[in-house]
Structure 1
Amino acid sequence: MELPERTLQILHFHEPQLEFGFKQATPHPKDGLFLYGPHGKNRKVRDIRIGVVGTNDGIKFFKAWAADLKKPIEVPPPGKTEKKDRLHLANFPGIAEAFGITFNEDEFATCSLDRKAIEDASLIVNLHEAVKKVVQLYVTRIRKYHENEERAIDVWALVVPELIFERCRPGAKRTGLPTLRGDFGKKQRQRSDLPLLGDLIDHTAEDIFDDAPDFHRQVKAGLLTLTPSQILRETTLAPHEFKNSAGYPIRRLQDRATVAWNLATGLYYKTQPAPPWKLADVRPGVCYVGLVYKNLPNDPNDHVCCAAQMFLSEGDGVVFRGANGPWKTADYEYHLQPPAAKDLIDKVLSTYKDKNGSPPKELFIHGQTSFNDDEWRAFEAAAPRGTNVVGVRIKSTRGETKLFRDGDYPVLRGTAMLLDDRNAYLWTTGYAPQLDTYIGPETPNPLFITVLRSKKEMPAIKTVLADIMGLTKINYNSCNFNDGLPVTVRFANMVGEVLTMRSARDAERQPFKFYI
């Protein structure tokens, strides 16, 4: 029997526009900031209050970089094999000129750490204990500052020596290093392994085995209810100070102008009430939620932490912590039980109503797995009658589907292949005409998008794809043209990893800027 021919529809979405100062729009964050400034621009340049914690050298490196941020920084001249019109690069005009903020680097609140104390803590034989004690060196100094000083800090810059990056993360290789004895033995213990005479040790020390031995995650969790933070490696700030035997920097970095754009974007986002840009021409009354699931480390019941990341049309986000529970039902499937599902969406909708005065018209729930019947009914029950709830699955692909332009060239970013009215491939990476390049290491792979369920009418697949394209442009941790994933799932793993830390378990609702 002959099967009927099937025609696949190929279409292209134009690059989403971003809004900047004076309600001007352009697709590239750097262009918009250079020409118009941030969309919530103040009438005059605003001073921000920065705290710095690190070694004496780290503080010196950050102050030097901060002074450079106040000046123009040009991209380096092209090399012999590079194109002269490198449109993905842009000169940095200075933080006041692009973002409307400034600072006095001589007035930074500084907390100096002893490098030997960091070195010794990082060499403790038990990795959990080593990471915890290094984290405490930073978090304790910041907390003491807030307890004893009246001057408020908008953002803390945590400058870390390279040894922290090398030694204080899961699976760190410390072979050959002269490890030191700590309070616990070398074995990475479970709670059941701890000494029976618990009153002979500090009970809080037991908590070190409840957290993954990861400096970044533990520091973010420790500051989650206190202040936004920016973690910077000394080798990023002063690459010329760290060279190999051949005289080259030990790390390959982006050009200084690009580093300046990214650092300034993070400082602005974490110190201002509104992000530096927002999506233009977004439908009113739309709310996007990304579901986050992460296994709790060292949990005897194999429980999972769940959370929801809410993003509105202006781009900023809020993270809501849900209940811990047995949400993992298969290798790659997570499903909330109805009470937990309803409670999580209740939190999202309540905050949306507080911000906007009424519930959203549309609530898009983005996940990387499907939704079962009980879970979905709970989502619908949480939403008021006038809110349409739509479930969308967003999955990365690994090369099983390829599309080429003119037979040999990378496909245009924004190309979509519609399979039917609910399923489509969407290339969120690819050749960008405005940049005249494709920034990527291999042939671009698409996202596989499925509109799974809807409370009322099913939205058009083209509308869902256009929304996802827009959500790839609101990563405020950098100043890139776009990401490959929408923000609703781009940071899901990072947010989940922070929330599983024991010190984060009181964070019920926090701005997204605290997590990145």
Structure 2
Amino acid sequence: MKFPEQSLVVDHLHEPALEFAFGERSPHPKDGLFLYGPHSKGKKSREIRVGVIGTTDGIAHFRNWARSIMQVVAVPPPGKAEKKDRLHLANFPGLEETFGISFDPDEISTLSLQLADIDRATRIENLNEAVDKVARLYIDRVRKHLKNEEGAVDIWVLVLPEIVYERCRPGSKRTGLAMEAGEFGRRQKAKASLPLLAGVIDQSNEDIFNDVPDFHRRIKAEFLAIAPTQLVRETTLAPNAFLNKAGYPVRKTQDAATLVWNLATGLYYKTQPKPPWRLGSVRPGVCYIGMVYKSLPDDPNGHACCAAQMFLNEGDGVVFRGANGPWKTGDHEFHLKKAAAKNLLKLVLATYKEMHGEPPKELFIHGQTYFNDEEWRAFCEAAPKSTNVVGVRIRTTGGETKLFRDGDYPVLRGTAMLLDDHVAYLWTTGYVPQLDTYIGPETPNPLHITVMRSKYERPAIRVVLEDIMGLTKINYNSCNFNDGLPVTVRFARMVGDVLTMGSAKGQEKQPFKFYV
């Protein structure tokens, strides 16, 4: 396709369809699940095994919430400032009716923690040690459960008191708290009071001080070798149990129906062999990879961890951990050395072949940087001759590019401005006719898409854009109509955050559901 000079070619891509039970299709996950059920729906309801860790109150909040989702959860009536036709909201029909899974809230495995123990641990002066102590309260209870060979669990739900969220993240202020020295602080104080040559252990090089002090990352990394997890705050499950002086919930949450749609989708995805929906129209033999890079915290050599997220038409994904190394180059972008690039791609291709019996016909590598000559040659050499490797750069944009519909209204989702054969702007957010609304706070910004390189013939830019539109609809951590980013890019930072934690070492290949 050749475009005339100084012309702007604007196109529109149709909304990708999703496939549900009986091969039925719908563009909206909620409609498809309500009408047909998940695409691998069984003849009988499946009982899932849920484990819950939290305080006595937290466990009670989860049980009450779980009882509520066994029946219809209605969208609340519109407020004075809201539109009456809120088509992006939907009643939740009930867990078994929607997903074909169930569990008895009174028969779940429960592990109780004392709020006083959590509170005491969060007050430890050194934040790294505080986060480690709090995480250990949860992790050790689960490991004890496993050691005693008690009932198997498909998913662990960690119900968090608000103090964990407030005090166990990077940069947590913890002002006004009565702090405690902790083991590290006490040993450091003892060391300072002893002669210089005394044999006192210096803990500054312990693993916990190499990790980012983040409870969420630590739990996800630790549970990579155990089971999928769902972290949820007590105030999310029971907002009306936590009121301020004016009688309103202390924090604003999603409406009850939307919250259930999202959490129930996660429960299904993390406990079943296949995700609740898949892309309806994907070319056979196509594999998508999202490249992940994350700088190692406090690494004196400036090294980074690399990984690859593989996604197929089934929608489900696998995360492959690559080597740590000096991947951040002089251009301030991440690029792999030849051996590391080859080894990482071989891991991906071997898994694809195990699943399908043959290598992919097309392998799309999505990244947020360009691909240099060394890593690109390695990618091409690692792939068999029958596989066309295509490198696509996907970048978010700010306010430099705006497009409007009828002068004032947001453009339709799926609008594309084609700059040439290989470069385009794509609006993955915008007005959605099916919902009769644009869900967003401001004028939507496009993604900048560039088909950088290809082993053989480069695919048409429209094919690449259609693929990216589809990949914005397979976020199984929620039940939204779409995301603004394709799944290959959407979770790159989250995956990198988990992989750089010390607890994640040795996990070369794990299902994507463990990370979200």
Normalised by the shorter chain, which TM-score bucket?
over 0.9
- Structure 1 window deviating more from structure 2 (426-435 vs 204-213): it is 204-213
1:40 aligns with 2:61: no
For 1:202 and 1:97, locate their aligned partners in 2 and report how far apart those are by CA, in whole Å. Answer: 57
CA deviations on 1:334-393 (whole Å, 9 max, x unpaired) are: 000000000000000000000000000000000000010010000000000000000000
For 1:442 and 1:187, locate their aligned partners in 2 and report how far apart those are by CA, in whole Å. Answer: 52
For the 8 Å contact 2:184–2:203, the answer to whether it is kept is no
For 2:123 and 2:382, locate their aligned partners in 1 and report how far apart those are by CA, in whole Å. Answer: 50
For 1:409-428, list aligned pairs within 5 A: 409-428=409-428
Match of 2:10 in 1: 10
For 1:377 and 1:278, locate their aligned partners in 2 and report how far apart those are by CA, in whole Å. Answer: 32
CA deviations on 1:178-227 (whole Å, 9 max, x unpaired) are: 11111223999xxxxxx999985597981111100000000100111110
Residues 186 and 362 of structure 1, relative CA distance in 2, 3 Å threshold: farther
Residues 125 and 387 of structure 1, relative CA distance in 2, 3 Å threshold: same
Match of 2:166 in 1: 166
**1:253 to partner: Cα distance:** 0.9
For the 8 Å contact 1:332–1:369, the answer to whether it is kept is no
Q: Normalising by structure 2, what TM-score? A: 0.96
Report SS of the residue matched to 1:96. helix
Match of 1:436 in 2: 436
Unaligned runs of 5+ in 1: 189-194
CA deviations on 1:437-488 (whole Å, 9 max, x unpaired) are: 1111110000000000000011000000000000000000000000000000
1:56 aligns with 2:56: yes
For 2:5 and 2:45, locate their aligned partners in 1 and report how far apart those are by CA, in whole Å. Answer: 62
Report SS of the residue matched to 2:257. helix
For 1:43 and 1:409, locate their aligned partners in 2 and report how far apart those are by CA, in whole Å. Answer: 46
**1:79 to partner: Cα distance:** 1.6
**1:301 to partner: Cα distance:** 1.2
CA deviations on 1:485-509 (whole Å, 9 max, x unpaired) are: 0000000000000000001011100
Match of 2:316 in 1: 316
CA deviations on 1:47-90 (whole Å, 9 max, x unpaired) are: 00000000000000001111111010110111222221110000
1:270 aligns with 2:270: yes
1:251 aligns with 2:251: yes
For 1:184 and 1:333, locate their aligned partners in 2 and report how far apart those are by CA, in whole Å. Answer: 37
Report SS of the residue matched to 1:309. strand
For 1:175 and 1:187, locate their aligned partners in 2 and report how far apart those are by CA, in whole Å. Answer: 24
For the 8 Å contact 2:294–2:304, the answer to whether it is kept is yes
Report SS of the residue matched to 1:449. strand
Match of 2:93 in 1: 93
Sequence identity of aligned pairs in percent?
69
For 1:359 and 1:203, locate their aligned partners in 2 and report how far apart those are by CA, in whole Å. Answer: 48
1:67 aligns with 2:67: yes
For 1:376-455, list aligned pairs within 5 A: 376-455=376-455
Report SS of the residue matched to 1:274. coil
Q: Which amino acid aligns with 1:327?
A: W
Report SS of the residue matched to 1:185. helix
Match of 2:191 in 1: none
Match of 1:27 in 2: 27
Match of 2:495 in 1: 495
Report SS of the residue matched to 1:386. coil
Report the count of equivalent residues.
507
Residues 417 and 63 of structure 1, relative CA distance in 2, 3 Å threshold: same
For 1:204 and 1:353, locate their aligned partners in 2 and report how far apart those are by CA, in whole Å. Answer: 45
For 2:12 and 2:466, locate their aligned partners in 1 and report how far apart those are by CA, in whole Å. Answer: 10
For 1:196 and 1:28, locate their aligned partners in 2 and report how far apart those are by CA, in whole Å. Answer: 68
Unaligned runs of 5+ in 2: 189-194
Q: Which amino acid aligns with 2:302?
A: D
For the 8 Å contact 1:392–1:453, the answer to whether it is kept is yes
**1:331 to partner: Cα distance:** 6.3
Match of 1:240 in 2: 240
For 2:183 and 2:316, locate their aligned partners in 1 and report how far apart those are by CA, in whole Å. Answer: 43
For the 8 Å contact 1:126–1:186, the answer to whether it is kept is no
Match of 1:342 in 2: 342
For the 8 Å contact 2:99–2:268, the answer to whether it is kept is yes
For 1:110-129, list aligned pairs within 5 A: 110-129=110-129
**1:136 to partner: Cα distance:** 0.6
Q: Which amino acid aligns with 1:147?
A: K
Residues 94 and 331 of structure 1, relative CA distance in 2, 3 Å threshold: farther
For 1:59 and 1:42, locate their aligned partners in 2 and report how far apart those are by CA, in whole Å. Answer: 30
For the 8 Å contact 2:44–2:100, the answer to whether it is kept is yes
Q: Which amino acid aligns with 1:162?
A: E
For 2:61 and 2:469, locate their aligned partners in 1 and report how far apart those are by CA, in whole Å. Answer: 38
**1:241 to partner: Cα distance:** 1.0
For the 8 Å contact 1:126–1:187, the answer to whether it is kept is no
For 1:151 and 1:233, locate their aligned partners in 2 and report how far apart those are by CA, in whole Å. Answer: 25
- Structure 1 window deviating more from structure 2 (322-331 vs 252-261): it is 322-331
Residues 22 and 391 of structure 1, relative CA distance in 2, 3 Å threshold: same
For 1:155-194, list aligned pairs within 5 A: 155-185=155-185
Report SS of the residue matched to 2:83. coil
For 1:183 and 1:455, locate their aligned partners in 2 and report how far apart those are by CA, in whole Å. Answer: 56
